[in-house]
Amino acid sequence: MNGKAFVGVLTATLLLCAAAQVASNPANGPPAADNTAANATDRHSEAVTPADQSNSADAIQVTANIRKAIVGDKTLSTSAHNVKIVTNGDTVTLRGPVASTAEKERITALARQYAHGKDVLDQLTVNGV
């Protein structure tokens, strides 16, 4: 290998190493794909969590119908598809982050549509707001 070829290979190697370093630095990429920070609110004793979901057949069916409608709406983001839906008694609570105010309104409307005779408590948050 001549000197020019060696310099070319060395330069390419250094560029690849630099690119790998940038890619592996979380500060340079998108945020982690978890909702650990959003789940911190579940630690408050007054917060409704999935553990508060009623085991009655009616509550399970209402929650399942709302979840099916939300997941079936392909215009909604992954965050919206993963909101918490908790049905207990006459109340359906919606919690979690969504991408926009429009998503928040759409999810609430779907919950009201499928929660016949129940109150819908909207505790959804819009990312970045």
Q: Tens digits of per-residue pLDDT, 35-91?
A: 555 555 555 557 888 888 889 999 999 999 999 999 999 999 999 999 999 999 999
Give me 9's structure tokens.
């290979």
Query: Running DSSP on this structure, what letter comes out for residue 31?
Result: P
Contact 52, 86 (CB under 8 A): yes
Average pLDDT over residues 89-118: 96
Amino acid at residue number 7: V
Query: Running DSSP on this structure, what letter comes out for residue 56?
Result: S
Q: Rounded to an integer, what is the distance from CA 19 to the centroid of its chain? A: 29
Is the model more confident about 122 or about 21?
122
Phi, psi dihedrals of residue 45, rounded to the nearest 5°: -65, -25
Q: pTM of the predicted model, to two decimals? A: 0.66
Q: d(Cα 107, Cα 99) in Å, to the nearest integer?
A: 11
- Helices 57-72, 101-114: axis angle to 10 degrees equals 140
- The pLDDT, as a whole number, for residue 12 is 67
Residue of 91, 82, 99, 70 whose CA lies nearest to 35: 82
